[in-house]
Structure 1
């Protein structure tokens, strides 16, 4: 049951990208009817259009429709303000760091010098 639901969701997500392929499939299946009835150049058979003008027009309409829907979605998207206005100023009081002991940067390496000397010897024969 889960696999059926996942396939349905996958198909519904991919449907907008498959829309031009559906138009092309419709054109391939009904090429004779489109060439005889719907073609703009059916009166001029020397052009050998065979309905390609109809296909181009339908694909262009789909692209314009998709672009219009995308632009409407972009325009209707709410804007979230992530930054505050520059009129607010913040100040932080800083105090210099004071170390009570001398800072040793290599204190960990000094602990391991003696055991490392015992471990890293050539093997005995």
Structure 2
């Protein structure tokens, strides 16, 4: 069951990148029919188009559709604001007292964050 689910998710994830290859495979499988019936230049054989105009048009339409869907998805994505900044007036001058500055400048890491414990130590070779 996991294997089936894995394959379905893999195909669903890769489908947008594989879809142009499907269009190209369809073109190669039906090249004669496309060149005889669907090609815009079938009346001018000297161009040797052989349905490449049809393939280019289909690939362009597929790309435009994917770009439109992506744009709509981005525009319709809800915005979640995580932080709210209070509108505090800016004050000139020192906000800290001298004792707070000294205490802050002599701050030590807690023992579990100390470089000697090995947490922030480079690996030993």
TM-score by length of 1: 0.69
Instruction: Report the Cα offset of residue 90 of structure 1.
Output: 8.1
- The aligned residue for residue 97 of structure 1 is 99
Three-state SS of the structure 2 residue aligned to 1:61 is: helix
Instruction: Report the Cα offset of residue 81 of structure 1.
Output: 2.8
Three-state SS of the structure 2 residue aligned to 1:87 is: coil
Measure the CA separation in 1 of the matches of 2:55 and 2:42. Answer: 14
* Residue correspondences, number: 100
Measure the CA separation in 1 of the matches of 2:41 and 2:85. Answer: 61
- The aligned residue for residue 64 of structure 2 is 64
Instruction: Report the Cα offset of residue 80 of structure 1.
Output: 2.5
- The aligned residue for residue 3 of structure 1 is 3
TM-score by length of 2: 0.69
Greater alpha carbon shift after TM alignment, 58-67 vs 70-79:
70-79
Measure the CA separation in 2 of the matches of 1:89 and 1:24. Answer: 62
- List alignment gaps of at least 5 residues for structure 1: 104-125
Measure the CA separation in 2 of the matches of 1:75 and 1:7. Answer: 30
1:1-125 counterparts in 2 under 5 A? Answer: 1-85=1-85, 87-89=87-89, 94-97=96-99
RMSD: 2.6
Instruction: Report the Cα offset of residue 89 of structure 1.
Output: 4.3
Three-state SS of the structure 2 residue aligned to 1:97 is: helix
Measure the CA separation in 2 of the matches of 1:4 and 1:10. Answer: 10
* Segments ≥4 residues shifted beyond 6 Å: none
